[in-house]
Amino acid sequence: MAGVEKNIIFGNGFKLQPSSAGDIAITNHLATDISIISVTGSPAGVVSANPSSLSFDLASGNIYRKSSATDATGWVLLNNTPVPAAGGVGTILRSDGANWVATTSTYPNTNAISTLLYASAANVMSALATANNGLLVTSATGVPSILAGPAATGRVLQSNAAAAPSFSTTTYPSTNAINTLLYASAANVMSALATANNGLLVTSATGVPSILAGPAATGRVLQSNAAAAPSFSTTTYPSTNAINTLLYASAANVMSALPTANNGVLFTSGTGVPSIGTAPIIVGGTNANSFSTSGGNVVYNGTSLVTYAGNTTNASGIKTNTNQPILQAYVSSALTNVTGDGTLYTVVFGGVSFQQGSNYATGTGIYTVPVTGIYAVTVNLTINNLTVANTSGELRICTNASTITRKIFNPGPVLTGGQFSINDACFITLTATQTIFINIQVSGGAKTAGLVTESFGPFCYLSIQKIA
């Protein structure tokens, strides 16, 4: 049974007159009956009804629901907010956190399948039609649109300056093996170019690119091939070269560096192997190209003519040879009481008439050999203050290694005014840094004997000259 206050509807009829207390009591007859009751004011504490019954307040517009019990308690207010007035066409209700209000934006009443909503104008939401296999893009002013997918597979999306992006005409592979490169295998078709180990990018006679694999051997070079693609040589070349070196085939398909030599000429052996050597003498000429010393001479070194700076010839024809030593030394002041009693004395020739180089020490009487060679040594001494008692003597030409020559004399029987002259000479092979000196020894008397000197010329002198 259902009932409406003031008019109770029964399953067997309709009552027009206002409900009595008894009518209302009848509405509570069954617990499952639901009543819709119109009253003025709140039904709480006034109207008895079954749970889930509804009561409508005609004055306020409030709706109440019976939540529990069958008496006049348990009424709960469902709302007290009136339905807002309708806004403009296309507006929708939106909660502002406290009330339901109409939006300012308008929305379309219908939408085609798959369309998107976007603000086509301020506060105007419109439908954006889609396209097959498309992408959402925007114009230069930010207006969205759906860019339809191209008919071809593999095209890519590209920027268009101030315009909306678009798909490329060129197609690209969807997958690529590791290390592959992209190239246009046809107009508007990019394809993968396979690589090769240690390779180079080359092109064919029609411009088609490919990767030339690196050769197995080290040192091969890339060569052009007329109308074909470049290729690696069979011959190998050195990776480094010293300055001035030449290249030659040291073996089949092996180029090697040929060292050079100063002022040299390229020769070949009996088997054709090249080398750089000193040029042989040319008949009627010389390969000496410069003189290292002013006035130098050209000599033959066994292979070629070369500049010999050891000797020079000046404009007057006088030769000077630093490698041809010569010395003329003399006793520059009288030497007294140096021997006579058997004392061995090293003669100090304190004056030098001339010398090539500076190898003689005037303070010690020792000559140091500058270069190895054969030397001529000549010595002359005049001894004074001798007596008849001085019956023996020696003149020695010595080196630091040994006595070269010894001349024994007896001055006593041939004295002239107490003086005696003696000389000696020899040829000797000497090596560089050896030393030469002269020793004198007189015995039999007192240590009164000495060596004389005269103003008009040396009585005591030493000459040394390299002769070969």
Q: Are residues 299 and 392 in the same domain?
A: no
Among 200, 173, 177, 176, which residue's Cα sits nearest to residue 186? 173
The total number of structural domains in the chain stands at 3
Same domain, 361 and 295: no
Distance CA 366, CA 381 (A): 16
Model confidence, pTM: 0.43
Distance, CA of 281 to CA of 306 (rounded, Å): 10
Q: In terms of domains, do 300 and 418 share one?
A: no
Mapped to the 3 state alphabet, what secondary structure does 164-179 carry?
A: EEEEEEEECCCCCCCC
Q: Supply φ then ψ for residue 456, to 5 degrees.
A: -85, -5
Boundary of a domain, candidates 79, 109, 139: 109
Domain shared by 300 and 428, yes or no? no
Q: How far apart are the first and last CA of the chain?
A: 161
Taking residue 172's Cβ as centre, other Cβ atoms within 10 Å add up to 15
| Among 253, 254, 263, 259, CA closest to 274 | 259
What the block records as the tokens of 373 is: 């060679």
Rounded to whole angstroms, how far apart are CA atoms 54 and 4?
10
Domain extent at residue 304: 280-321
How does DSSP assign 323-369, residue by residue?
TS-EEEEE--S-EEEEESSS-EEE----EEEEESSS-EETTTTEEE-
Classify residue 327 by burial, with Cβ atoms within 10 Å: 0-12, 13-18, 19+. buried
The reply to whether 73 and 7 lie within a common domain is yes
Per-residue pLDDT of the chain (468 residues; tens, 9 = 90+): 334 444 444 333 333 334 455 555 544 444 455 567 888 888 888 888 888 788 888 887 788 888 888 888 888 887 665 556 667 888 998 888 888 888 889 999 999 999 999 999 999 999 999 999 999 999 999 999 999 989 889 999 999 988 899 999 999 999 999 999 999 999 999 999 999 999 999 998 999 999 999 898 899 999 998 888 999 999 999 999 999 999 999 999 999 999 988 888 888 888 889 988 765 555 444 555 555 566 666 776 666 666 665 667 777 766 676 667 899 999 988 899 999 999 999 999 999 988 888 899 999 999 999 999 999 999 999 898 888 888 899 999 999 988 888 888 888 776 767 888 888 999 999 999 999 999 999 999 999 999 888 655 567 899 999 888
Listed in sequence order, the residues at least 6 apart from 174 whose beta carbon sits closer than 8 Å to its beta carbon are 153, 154
Domain end among 264, 293, 321: 321
